[in-house]
Amino acid sequence: MPEASLPYGPLGQDTIHLCVDMQTVFAERTEWQVPWLEKILPRVLRIARAHAAATIFTRFMPPATVDDASGSWRRFYQRWPQMTRQRMDPDLVRLLPSFDDLVPPAEVIDKQHYSPFSEPAMHQRLQQRRVNTLVVTGAETDVCVLGTVLGAVDLGYRVIVVADAVCSVSDATHDALMLLYRQRFGQQIEVASTETVLAEWT
């Protein structure tokens, strides 16, 4: 279960809500659909609305064509060529309509890989805003959220994973990662509920 309070203290003005890939492509009936996403949406929205000016949304942006991908990413898109931007509906990469009225003041940063920290603009933007703590929500727990969390840990950020506001197509790997964070990354990653985050973020 998530903690009843945050073990390393409350959250303040040095905190950002980093909302990972809450996009139409993962909500609608595509090959990348995450059915669980709509269940977490109300909780993600609660955090985003409570701290809109302190929210950054990431968007996963596939390459235009398979040939634009490099290394093992090319093999990845050879498996899903219909998910390249040349072939997919461009509206699929948009944030879910529920977030439209939050941007601005919320920001959007696009990324081509699992972790937004593969884009130099991500870390630079956080440093400009003097951020040292990230509250992480979004999709998927075991793919882009995982990449985001580990990228943030490597850079020394305090990370709070909101356990009831992240989702996956796999319950088993979602649960395994919650256990991993608690048992192996307890000094760097905190796992908390939406209610705890909202109560602790002043």
Domain ranges across the chain: 15-63+95-200
Assigned token pair, 132: 């040292």
Helix (H) or strand (E) holding 175: helix 171-184
CA–CA dist 124, 161 (Å, integer): 21
pLDDT by residue, tens only, the chain of 202 residues = 556 689 999 999 999 999 999 999 999 989 999 999 999 999 999 999 999 999 999 999 999 999 999 999 999 999 999 999 999 999 999 999 999 999 999 999 999 999 999 988 899 999 999 999 999 999 999 999 999 999 999 999 999 999 999 999 999 999 999 999 999 999 999 999 999 999 999 8
Q: Residue 5: its pLDDT value, please?
A: 86
Which pLDDT value is given to residue 3? 61
- The matching CATH number, chosen from 3.40.50.850, 3.40.462.10, 2.60.40.10, 3.40.140.10, for 15-63+95-200 is 3.40.50.850
Which candidate, 142, 130, 135, 195, places its Cα nearest to that of 169?
142
- Quote the pLDDT of residue 91: 94
pTM for the whole structure? 0.95
Residues facing 23 on adjacent strands: 95
C-beta of residue 198 within 8 angstroms of C-beta of residue 47: yes
Q: Give pLDDT, residue 116.
A: 97
What's the pLDDT at 72? Answer: 97
Q: Cα separation of 185 and 201, whole Å?
A: 22
Q: Which long-range contacts (CB under 8 A, 24 or more apart) does 173-181 make?
A: 173/141, 173/142, 174/141, 174/142, 176/142, 177/141, 177/142, 177/146, 178/141, 181/149
Contact by Cβ (8 Å): 161, 149 = yes
